[in-house]
Structure 1
Amino acid sequence: MDRYVLKDAVEEAKAMGRGGMSHPSTKPVLIGAGVGAVAAGILPFVAWPVGLIAGAGFMLYKRVRP
């Protein structure tokens, strides 16, 4: 695993913040957050904010390291 993945993820998140919805990573990350929140709502032992963060984090990781 690349040791700079966290640095790259932070830079990508900053670029998403600057670019808004026009940034190519924003929509997939938001969709991942929504899917994570819905999945967490179905699972009885996970709260929806945890699922939201996990889904967004997973999609951000997939955008940084495809």
Structure 2
Amino acid sequence: MLTFILGIGMIALTVAIYVPATHLYRKLKWPILMPVLTATAVIVLILLISGIKLDTYMLGGKWIQELL
């Protein structure tokens, strides 16, 4: 059950970062602010600062990866 909750939380984190990154890119149109690049950089920073391991993030990330 904990794995499921962590997975949903990591998906929510990804979406919560991707949506504002998309709005920022549409507003400014700078190539460096492409949503995938911006969201990835922010997620990496959050994982590094909070000490969350990549394996924990990938509990939800694997679902996103399979959908892509």
- The bucket for the TM-score relative to the shorter chain is 0.3 to 0.5
Higher helix share: 2
Greater relative CO (CA pairs within 8 A, separation 6+): 2
Q: What's the TM-score, normalizing by structure 2?
A: 0.46
TM-score of the aligned structures, taking structure 1 as reference length: 0.47
